[in-house]
A and B are shown apart, each in its own frame.
Chain A
Amino acid sequence: MSFDAIIIGGGHNGLTAAATLAKAGRKVLLLEAADTVGGGASTVEFAPGFRTSGLAHIINRLDPDVVKAIGLDTSGFEATAMPTAILSETSEAIVLRGAYGESIDGVGKEEAAAFAALRKKLLFHAGLLRRFMKKPPPELGNTSLKDLAAHAATGLKLLSQGREEARDVLRMLLMNVADISDEFLTDDRLKGLLAFDATLGLHLGPRSPTSLMGLYYRLTGEALGASGGQFLPRGGMGAVAQAFAEAATAAGATIRTASPVRRIIANRGLAGGVELEDGEILMASTILSAIHPRTTFHHLVDPADTQTGLSRAIGHIRSNGDVAKLNLALDKVPQFQGLSEADHKGRLVIARSMNHVETAFNPSKYGEYSPDPVMEITLPSLSDPKLADTGCTLSAMVQFAPYALREGWESGKPKFLEIVLDGLERHAPGLRASVEHAELLTPADIETRYRMPGGHWSHGEMQPDQLLFNRPVHAAAGYSTPLEGLYLASAGSHPGGGISGLPGLLSARHILAGGSR
């Protein structure tokens, strides 16, 4: 059987691309190394009777265009919106309700108003940036009329709230989240949340210039029809992956799991097939790699088939993760201080202040984990009881836990787990005693388990120098690569990470449009 396109990697972006291409009539084969598709979107039984999302655990940027384009059936996993609660050891939690705090509990009237003003500003700016997320990265030095028209439209939008607001866009774009928070807010806990949300998944502290970009990026996402919306998928992220796979299959794509690719076959700058680990050779005129760009170019493509400059640039991609994933099997539902029972279903953030996030970040610069980490906690089995036969599952993203821990994760991991559990215990007394099983995935574990180099879920830092026409590197931005016939479609490509499906969609559309460089 022959195929028009072979897609390497069955993460949600690979699946999106498969569905898009198949829907357009291409004969598509998707190859996934693992036994199931989904990649970082999975549901795992990490302890007998306890299931949780394997890596990504919250939906906050599933793109409506993607849903529509591939006919994704969200009914299987869509759930109700959840609030975000900022936990405190000493006071009631602050709770942001609706999409990123349409209303807010736990702060004074003035502060709530200040937050509302800032939220409005950030959403406006994010709305402008979203225009760049929904299409391929702009081409430098070769602006088409269509691009010009799009830029002009963005310019008009920029001015839609007046000249002064437009000035603020250009002023704030590359600022840090700390200064912006200080400029508009007074409550340190709220600042802590913004700091956490801006830096989650990034090797930046809130005081690092450009860290506001992380928050903007979050707000360019939407869920349940609202920017900044979020929910916990029913059945865990594996259910989401399943829906993506069904969309691909329904569109006519062939999916083969347990089929790791050994190399991409190329000749004189032209890619034309793949060889599997078991030696099987499959040919197609289009090869689309929906895995980490470094794996693609440094491991699957023979060095002799790529050029030195490209290979060098790929080597410069900063892609070491700082986030650890914690899965806990608890014998009962934990009680977090200052949090109503209903709000336990929300996203619970431990980040006491801006400074807390900053000091948690500092050690990661030197290959050390945070002695007092910040984290985002969910209790998925509260919303979806099927995830735990008894008791309760806890799923958390803990930061900062650098990929390249200087002392090595073998000795570091047990110590870090203790620190994380202590941190939880302070907010939920008694939690430690109820732990039946604890699993901590360091970035090194994430790398191994999910085949993500550096354990970075965005396949490369989402910092401005690695965005747009520089994502993953300039020569391979915009999905085509210098190796003709080889395309990229992972989170390592524009617009980047998170469960959005956009890199897969945009890449597939690029191929359908002719796929020229």
Chain B
Amino acid sequence: MTLDPIRKAEQEHFRTLLMPTPFHPRLAPLVETQSWYGWAGMLVAHSVFDEELEYFAIRSTAALFDISPMIKYRITGPDAERCLNRLTVRDVSKQKVGRVQYTAWCDDEGHVLDDGTLFRLGAADFRLCCQERHLPWLLDTARGMDVAIREETQEIAGLALQGPTSFAVLSKAGFDGVEALRPFQLAEFDHDGGKVMISRTGFTGDLGYELFVPATAALSLWDRLWEAGRLHGLNAIGYNALNRARIEAGFIVANGDFVTAETALRADRVRMPDEIGLDWLVDVDKVQFNGRSAILAARKNGTLKHVLVGLEIDDNTPAEAAIVYHGNKREVGLISAAIWSPTAKRNIAIASLERPYGSEILDDLWVEIYALRELKYHKMMKRARVVERPFVKLARRSANPPARF
């Protein structure tokens, strides 16, 4: 009974419930709030020094957020495009090399398994980033095709660099040519004897980039950005600040704003793309894909039950987890995310409503807010209006070339 040393060493994982990310040595000294939490088993910060100020770093200067725990799959091989076309609702054959697609994928019944971003690194080389884990589903989707699928979450470190001065930071850091990147475009740049992949993407609705680098080069990348960011107001931020920005941008979070099909325990909790505001992703003209016929049938038969909407609510109390009513008493949905938007100066929320409320019936909607004030609930009924998402739309996000601010 002997065990090779590598396997023996792997056993030790149980001593550390939350694994440090590759950036941890740099991030840890900065996290003055010490408010850590677990994201996919890795240690990340809720906040770094002050949630409020971190938010303004995103909207006013530049913010650095560790996205290493995001689940990443590498899909390669001659049939990679075919496989991903079977998997996702968008047409991957239209995605050029060097482009990024925000996309979603469904089970056979058309219920959303997850949303995520698909990076086309080469003709036969993709990276899929998402919130939940899907290896068995991906492997089964690849059955009968010449394609290799590998989870690379641990090997690849990721950073989101977001905010008006983010381009200036990259430029200062010497990433020449980054000015050519248009939104949803990616390119590789030299770094530390290797490569870093930079895409003009993000989860803030602001000008911003995401950087992916082998975990071994994570710290040198951090240092390079940090040094360059000195004069551009670069701050490390935690999830709470990012979450505010993403709500303003109207982005949804899997298992936050909708329940993914593989985790739902109750049959009525699953959602089709059209029920979570992702109908625009579904490309009905492309080849066959998982969920296609179910989605088309639901559209045709009018059996879609829910709709995800942006709400603007009277006054300024965030309506987190509030019930939405129509008229006096009829319960029609639930708010899954809500904040007071500092940038828009509006009280905003993302809500899931039962059709026809939110789809056809838009008036007379109310939310019931329980605000805990010194151990007493202030109970309020506030009027809500269905509004366009994003709640905050910034021209700088898509300006070409990006401005330096």
Contact = CB atoms under 8 A, between A and B. Distances in A.
Q: Is A in direct contact with B (CB under 8 Å) within the complex?
A: yes
B108 A304 contact: no
A269 B293 contact: yes
B144 A475 contact: no
Interface stretch (A309-317, A460-468, A495-503): A309-317
Interface stretch (B36-44, B82-90, B162-170): B82-90
A304 B86 contact: yes
A309 B113 CA distance: 12
Contacts, number: 55
Given A304-B287, A484-B293, A311 B107 contact: no
A280 B51 CA distance: 68
Interface in A29-46: none
Contact of A482 (B108, B141, B145): B108
A266 interface: yes
The secondary-structure label for the interface of chain A is: helix
Given A475-B108, A482-B108, A307 B140 contact: no
Interface in A305-357: 305-312, 315
B108 A308 contact: yes
B86 A309 contact: no
A429 interface: no
B108 A298 contact: no
B288 A269 contact: yes
Interface string A239-278: 0000000000000000000000000001111000000000
B143 A315 contact: yes
A303 B86 contact: yes
A484 B145 CA distance: 22
B405 interface: no
B291 interface: yes
B232 interface: no
Contacts of A310: 108
Contacts of A307: 86, 108, 288-292
B143 A309 contact: no
B137 interface: yes
Nearest to A475: B108
Given A303-B144, A312-B140, A266 B108 contact: no
Interface residues of A, number: 20
Interface in B117-147: 137, 140-141, 143-145
Nearest to A301: B144
Contacts of A482: 108, 293
Interface string A284-304: 000000000000001000111
B107 A309 contact: yes
Contacts of B143: 298, 303, 311-312, 315
A307 B109 CA distance: 10
A475 B291 CA distance: 13
A308 B144 contact: no
Contacts of B292: 268-269, 307
**Most chain-B Cβ atoms within 10 A of its Cβ — which of A269, A307, A475, A482?**
A307
Contacts of B140: 308, 311-312, 315
Nearest to A313: B108
A308 B87 contact: yes
Nearest to B290: A307
Contacts of B86: 303-304, 307-308
Interface string B55-85: 0000000000000000000000000001001
Contacts of A267: 287-288
A311 B140 CA distance: 8
A173 to B, nearest CB: 27
Interface string A413-451: 000000000000000000000000000000000000000
A484 B288 CA distance: 12
**Most chain-B Cβ atoms within 10 A of its Cβ — which of A310, A315, A482?**
A482
Contact of A304 (B107, B137, B288): B288
Interface in B260-317: 287-293
A475 B287 CA distance: 20
B287 A268 contact: yes
A302 B82 CA distance: 11
Contact of B288 (A266, A298, A312, A315): A266
A298 B292 CA distance: 19
A350 to B, nearest CB: 42
A266 B289 CA distance: 13
A303 B292 CA distance: 15
Interface in A452-477: 475
Give the 5 A-B residue pairs with the shortest CB-CB distance, closest first: A309-B108, A303-B144, A307-B108, A308-B141, A312-B140
27 contacts: A267-B287, A268-B288, A268-B292, A269-B288, A269-B292, A298-B143, A298-B144, A302-B144, A303-B86, A303-B143, A303-B144, A304-B85, A304-B145, A304-B287, A305-B288, A306-B288, A307-B288, A308-B86, A308-B108, A309-B107, A309-B108, A309-B109, A311-B140, A312-B140, A315-B140, A482-B108, A482-B293
Given A304-B82, A304-B145, 11 more contacts: A266-B288, A268-B287, A268-B288, A269-B293, A302-B144, A304-B85, A305-B288, A307-B292, A308-B107, A308-B290, A311-B143
